[in-house]
């Protein structure tokens, strides 16, 4: 039976706006919810969502999660960088804000389900609810959703998961929503004007230190470890006759270690904070599993050694620039099994 009342998380962008439009024609009642997340948030978001809501003739609610967002997203993000790691704030946001605090708020408003504009799919099977990649591989966002569990999936809808981006844009144009939708941005939402480096240096409170090679030779000085990540080549300020890449950030000694491209490849990694969509790890079915070590990386074959909340991961082929703090997500075909946080490459 179809849910009678659905809340749509609306950001003023094309994906969430089309999500609301699709559900408006499919369900009995649709309401919009806009989240206020940080002080530097673009005020145009609220204006855009109201324009879309008026166009679709649906009520819109605004909730202030700015304090929670500071605690659960921005602060951990900065803390991770201080430790020489590379965090993914979108995964924090999905885990703690959108699919926890927002889902709870939606239920308080009396809705049956929460919908978002994510390009992913949820299906119900005899084994419970399953999370799948979006059909548009270029926009698939399942990587960011591996922390979702059964009690959440049963109350979630992802209409965009069955569409290609060009179809989404076509629907928006057909419904004359384009004038109400704000331009899309690839920047992290809480970093003003996309000035990533300035934000990191200002908030992570970093100190300069030495840059050394793999043999311990001092090559120069870095501006502060939070401004660097594994695999980085540009901005090192080194005078070298060969290309040098960041291969390790030693936060304890405040040292940046660089080396040739050959030093970037690893066949193994350790992951912690494991989360499984089914609620249980695939202990008896460890064949045909692939993994992605970052959002845009391809899914590659792996073998797993799972020990409670940790896993040893072995790649069939060496992987480049494995960054501690990023997430590794496990798949079987189109199905997301779960994932965890990369602790260290080996």
In sequence order, what are the beta bridge partners of 60?
Answer: 32
In three-state secondary structure terms, 318 is: strand
pLDDT 10s digits, 200-215 = 777 777 789 999 999 9
Q: pLDDT averaged over the chain?
A: 91
pLDDT 10s digits, 143-193 = 999 999 999 999 999 999 999 999 999 999 998 887 777 777 667 788 867
The reported pLDDT for the residue numbered 194 is 67
Mean pLDDT of 129-139: 97
pLDDT at 198 over 80: no
Whether 189 is a known active-site residue: answer yes
Mean pLDDT of 120-137: 95
**Which pLDDT band, with edges at 50, 70 and 90, does 258 fall under?**
very high
pLDDT at 118 over 80: yes
Q: Residue 172 is encoded by which pair of tokens?
A: 């928006």
Q: Which of 345, 332, 331, 343 is nearest to 145 (CA)?
A: 331
CA angle (161 as vertex; 185, 32 as ends), nearest 5:
65
The reported pLDDT for the residue numbered 199 is 80
The reported pLDDT for the residue numbered 42 is 65
Mean pLDDT of 37-57: 84
**In order of start, what are the domains of the chain with their CATH numbers?**
5-192 (3.40.50.620), 206-259 (2.30.30.280), 264-345 (2.40.30.10)
In three-state secondary structure terms, 207 is: coil
pLDDT 10s digits, 307-338 = 889 999 999 999 999 999 999 999 999 999 99
Half-sphere exposure of 307 (CA within 13 A, CB side): 7
Q: Where are the alpha helices (DSSP H) in the chain?
A: 14-24, 44-56, 66-69, 75-82, 89-93, 103-108, 150-153, 165-174, 196-203
pTM for this entry: 0.93
pLDDT at 29 over 70: yes
**Which pLDDT band, with edges at 50, 70 and 90, does 142 fall under?**
very high
Tokens 């965009």 belong to 160
The reported pLDDT for the residue numbered 72 is 96
Catalytic residue among 78, 90, 113, 189: 189
The reported pLDDT for the residue numbered 41 is 66
Catalytic residue among 78, 90, 93, 113: 93
**Which pLDDT band, with edges at 50, 70 and 90, does 44 fall under?**
confident
């Amino acid at each position: 039976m179809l849910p009678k009342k659905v809340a749509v998380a609306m950001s003023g962008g094309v994906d969430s706006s089309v999500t609301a439009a699709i559900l408006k024609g499919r369900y009995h009642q649709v309401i919009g919810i806009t989240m206020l997340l940080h002080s530097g948030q673009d005020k145009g978001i609220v204006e855009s969502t109201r324009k879309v809501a008026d166009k679709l003739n649906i009520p819109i609610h605004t909730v202030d999660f700015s304090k929670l967002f500071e605690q659960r997203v921005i602060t951990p993000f900065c803390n991770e960088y201080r430790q020489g790691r590379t965090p993914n704030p979108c995964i924090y946001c999905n885990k703690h804000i959108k699919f926890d605090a927002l889902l709870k708020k939606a239920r308080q408003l009396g809705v049956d389900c929460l919908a978002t504009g994510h390009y992913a799919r949820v299906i119900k099977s005899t084994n419970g609810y399953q999370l799948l990649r979006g059909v548009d591989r270029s926009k698939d966002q399942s990587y960011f959703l591996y922390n979702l569990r059964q009690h959440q999936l049963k109350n979630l809808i992802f209409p965009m998961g069955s569409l290609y981006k060009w179809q989404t844009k076509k629907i928006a144009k057909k419904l004359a929503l384009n004038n109400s939708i704000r331009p899309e941005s690839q920047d992290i939402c809480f970093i003003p004007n996309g000035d990533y480096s300035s934000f990191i240096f200002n908030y992570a409170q970093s100190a300069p230190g030495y840059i050394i090679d793999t043999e311990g030779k001092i090559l120069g000085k870095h501006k502060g470890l939070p401004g660097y990540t594994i695999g980085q080549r540009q901005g090192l300020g080194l005078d070298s006759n060969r290309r040098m890449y960041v291969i390790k950030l030693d936060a304890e000694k405040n040292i940046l270690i660089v080396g040739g491209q050959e030093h970037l490849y690893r066949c193994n990694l350790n992951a912690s904070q494991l989360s499984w969509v089914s609620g249980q790890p695939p202990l008896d079915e460890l064949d045909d599993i692939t993994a992605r070590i970052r959002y845009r990386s391809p899914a590659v074959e792996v073998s797993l050694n799972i020990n409670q909340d940790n896993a040893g991961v072995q790649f069939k082929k060496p992987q480049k620039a494995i960054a501690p703090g990023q997430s590794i997500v496990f798949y079987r075909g189109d199905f997301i099994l779960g994932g965890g946080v990369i602790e260290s490459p080996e």
